[in-house]
């Protein structure tokens, strides 16, 4: 067990998923060479062996037993999940309002960044879109409507913004996590939580519960990750076990999908970049001050991530390529999230639960993996995510492009994946 770090250091740890990446015992040469080889071999193998689209999206999947379906869809299950989500939200709010302004003694910061933000990754992968039923904002909306005796609005959310509200919400949260001056303070978290809740409930009051699927940043985030779960629903509503790539293929093409994923990718990349010695020095010496400089750095990395994606997809010469291939970024984002937040989730989340249950401040558990194993996990997560992205993009390309261009037309997408891979690994092992 390691001793508990001082409050200031703990706040910094909570704002960054892994801490320093530069002491990981992995040779950069072997990491880069292995990643490049994996992507190139995957691309060539798919070009030779995968000549037609094999993914069937929402039509795929083997139905689960009827008893499982009845239990999952039962009203009692829905009510229990809503009550659980609301209880967790109110507990967090109570700790933010009444607890000490010390991350070592108040579980709220670790609950937000480790248990919730990082924890949505395993929850969504293992259980599918379960957060939709746990979401306390949906429950508050339904309770408010019942208390005020108001019917659900009959107007649907406007289709044109798509996931852009979710992209902006994710950008705001990642700014709080990575660029704000006091990301783990009670005041900062209360301000964000209060403003976010009011905005979401106001939008739902106007457009109904359907707003949350696209307008709630965290539900959209969890829903995209859940596309890679082996459990999902077919178009006919049946619960099924499926190839995760079929679930990924069913991702709806909506405006803002690529932007949402580029915010996830760019913010995670900035999380790694912010730990480098050069950027730390820049933050300390910038005449603009730390927070404005960090904000500009975060926006710049997100912007570069989006620009690279836009350039590479435009080079495919497929109409609407930006939306058509955006789903291939979901496994890429997942790989980065696993690499960057595994340690945070496995150490700080149990510590937060212990504090909620009444345990006093104590040592934070050591990571479950030794540095060598952790480095291997991080590199494998990043490379596997990009390989799955190549597979998803290839299947979509052979569906959209004529056979004579099905392989050559994907070269820009391969360049995109190689660029993202080398950049991500560089932040981990350089």
Q: pLDDT tens across 109-146, in order? A: 999 999 999 999 999 999 999 999 999 999 999 999 99
- On the 0-12 / 13-18 / 19+ scale of CB atoms within 10 A, 315 is middle
**Reported confidence tier of residue 19, pLDDT bands at 50, 70, 90:** very low
* Residue bearing tokens 């108040």: 106
As a whole number, mean pLDDT of residues 28-53 equals 83
Q: What is the pLDDT of residue 12?
A: 52
Residue 217 has pLDDT above 90, yes or no: yes
Average pLDDT over residues 194-216: 95
Sole residue written with tokens 């000490």: 100
CB 339 within 8 A of CB 377: yes
Confidence label for 6 from pLDDT (cuts 50, 70 and 90): very low
User: Whole-angstrom Cα distance, residue 111 to residue 356?
Assistant: 9
Q: Taking residues 204-232, report their average pLDDT.
A: 95
What is the mean pLDDT of the segment spanning 346-357?
87
Q: Predicted confidence band at 324 (pLDDT cuts at 50, 70, 90)?
A: very high
Mean pLDDT rounded to a whole number for the chain: 88
The predicted-structure confidence for 84-109, as pLDDT tens digits, reads as follows 999 999 999 999 999 888 888 889 99
Query: Of the given ranges (97-101, 252-256, 344-348, 371-375), which has the lowest mean pLDDT?
Result: 371-375
27: pLDDT strictly greater than 80: no
Q: What are phi and psi of 192, to 5 degrees?
A: -65, -50
Q: Are 225 and 125 in contact (CB under 8 A)?
A: yes
pLDDT at 202: 96
Question: Which residue shows structure tokens 């070592």?
Answer: 104
CB-count burial class (<10 Å; 0-12, 13-18, 19+) for 171: buried
Q: Is the pLDDT of residue 281 over 70?
A: yes
How far is residue 379's CA from residue 38's CA, in Å, rounded to a whole number?
Answer: 12
pLDDT of residue 429: 66
Rounded mean pLDDT, 21-47: 75
Is 17 a residue whose pLDDT tops 50? Answer: no
Q: Give pLDDT, residue 131.
A: 96
pLDDT score of 384 more than 80: yes
Three-class SS state of 209: coil
Q: What is the pLDDT of residue 5?
A: 45
Tell me the three state secondary structure of residue 375.
Answer: helix
8 falls in which pLDDT band (50, 70, 90)? Answer: very low
pLDDT at site 273:
87
Residue 45: per-residue pLDDT: 87
Position 48 scores a pLDDT of 82
Mean pLDDT of 387-404: 88
Residue 18: the pLDDT is: 36
Given a cut of 90, whether residue 405 has pLDDT beyond it is no
DSSP letter (8 states) at residue 430:
-
How far apart are the C-alpha atoms of 286 and 292, rounded to whole Å?
9
User: What is the strand order of the sheet 239-241 is part of?
Assistant: 62-63, 239-241, 231-233
Distance (Å, whole) CA 340 – CA 63: 34
Closest by CA to 421, choosing from 413, 178, 271, is 413
Q: Mean pLDDT across the stretch 246-268?
A: 95
- Cβ atoms of residues 160 and 255 within 8 Å: yes
pLDDT at 103: 84
Say how many C-beta atoms besides its own lie within 10 A of residue 234's C-beta: 19
Give the residue ranges of DSSP H helices in 236-276. 244-249, 257-273
State residue 39 phi and psi, 5-degree precision: -70, -40
The percentage of residues in the chain with a pLDDT greater than 70, rounded to a whole number, is 92
Asked if residue 371 lies in contact with residue 23, where contact means CB atoms within 8 angstroms, the answer is: yes
Q: What is the mean pLDDT of residues 64-68?
A: 94
Closest among 406, 354, 372, 319 to 26, alpha carbons compared: 372
Give the gyration radius of the chain's Cα atoms: 22
pLDDT one-digit tens code per residue, 296-311: 999 999 999 999 999 9
352-370 pLDDT, tens digit per residue, is 888 888 776 666 677 788 8
CB-based burial label for 153 (10 Å; 0-12, 13-18, 19+): middle
Q: How far is CA 339 from CA 11, 24, 50, 333, in A?
A: 20, 12, 29, 10
Residue 90: per-residue pLDDT: 96
Q: Which residues of 397-419 are buried (b: 16+ CB within 10 A; e: fewer)?
A: bbebbeeeebbebbebbbebbbe
- pLDDT computed for residue 360 by the predictor: 66
C-alpha 161, offset from chain centre: 20
317 pLDDT above the threshold of 50: yes
Measured distance CA(177)–CA(268) in Å, rounded: 11
Phi, psi of 407 (to 5 degrees): -95, -50
**What are the CA-CA distances from residue 123 to residues 225, 229, 239, 338 (Å)?**
9, 10, 17, 13
Tens of pLDDT, residues 177-192: 999 998 999 999 999 9
CA angle 143-148-149, nearest 5°?
Answer: 95
pLDDT, position 7: 46
Half-sphere exposure of 46 (CA within 13 A, CB side): 27
Closest CA to 203 of 147, 157, 145: 157
From residue 171, give the alpha-carbon distance in Å to each of 213, 271, 413: 17, 13, 25
Question: Which pair of structure tokens corresponds to residue 91?
Answer: 């507990």
List b or e across 117-138, with b for residues whose CB sees 16 or more CB atoms inside 10 angstroms.
Answer: bbbbbebbbeebbbbbbbbbbb
């Amino acid at each position: 067990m390691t001793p508990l770090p001082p409050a200031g250091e703990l706040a910094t740890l909570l704002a960054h998923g892994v801490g320093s990446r530069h002491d990981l015992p992995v040779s950069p040469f072997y990491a880069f060479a292995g990643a490049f080889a994996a992507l190139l071999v995957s691309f060539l193998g798919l070009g030779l062996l995968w000549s037609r689209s094999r993914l069937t999206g929402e039509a795929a999947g083997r139905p689960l037993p009827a008893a499982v379906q009845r239990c999952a869809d039962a009203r009692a299950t829905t009510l229990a999940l809503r009550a659980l989500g609301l209880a967790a939200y109110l507990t967090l709010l109570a700790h933010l309002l009444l607890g000490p302004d010390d991350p070592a003694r108040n579980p709220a910061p670790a609950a937000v960044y480790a248990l919730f933000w990082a924890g949505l990754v395993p929850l969504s992968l293992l259980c599918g879109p379960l957060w939709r039923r746990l979401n306390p904002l949906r429950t508050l909306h339904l309770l408010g409507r019942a208390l005020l005796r108001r019917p659900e609005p009959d107007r649907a959310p406007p289709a044109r913004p798509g996931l852009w509200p979710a992209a902006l919400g994710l950008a705001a949260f990642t700014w709080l996590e990575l660029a704000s001056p006091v990301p783990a303070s009670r005041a900062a978290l209360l301000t964000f939580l209060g403003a976010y809740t009011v905005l979401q409930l106001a939008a739902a009051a106007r457009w109904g519960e359907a707003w949350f699927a696209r307008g709630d940043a965290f539900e959209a985030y969890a829903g995209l990750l859940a596309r890679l779960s082996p459990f999902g629903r077919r178009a006919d509503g049946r619960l099924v076990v499926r190839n995760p790539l079929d679930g990924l293929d069913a991702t709806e093409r909506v405006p803002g999908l690529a932007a949402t994923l580029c915010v996830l990718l760019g913010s995670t990349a900035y999380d790694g970049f912010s730990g480098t010695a050069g950027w730390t020095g820049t933050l300390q010496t910038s005449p603009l001050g730390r927070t404005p400089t960090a904000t500009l750095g975060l926006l710049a990395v997100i912007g570069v991530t989006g620009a690279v994606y836009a350039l590479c997809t435009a080079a495919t010469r497929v109409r609407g390529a930006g939306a058509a291939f955006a789903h291939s970024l979901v496994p890429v984002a997942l790989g980065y999230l696993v690499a960057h937040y595994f340690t945070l989730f496995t150490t700080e989340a149990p510590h937060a639960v212990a504090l909620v249950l009444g345990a006093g401040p104590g040592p934070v558990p050591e990571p479950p993996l030794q540095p060598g194993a952790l480095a291997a996990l991080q590199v494998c997560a990043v490379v596997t995510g990009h390989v799955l992205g190549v597979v998803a993009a290839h299947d979509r390309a052979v569906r959209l492009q004529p056979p004579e261009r099905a392989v050559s037309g994907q070269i820009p997408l391969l360049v995109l994946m190689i660029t993202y891979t080398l950049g991500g690994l560089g932040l981990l092992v350089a």
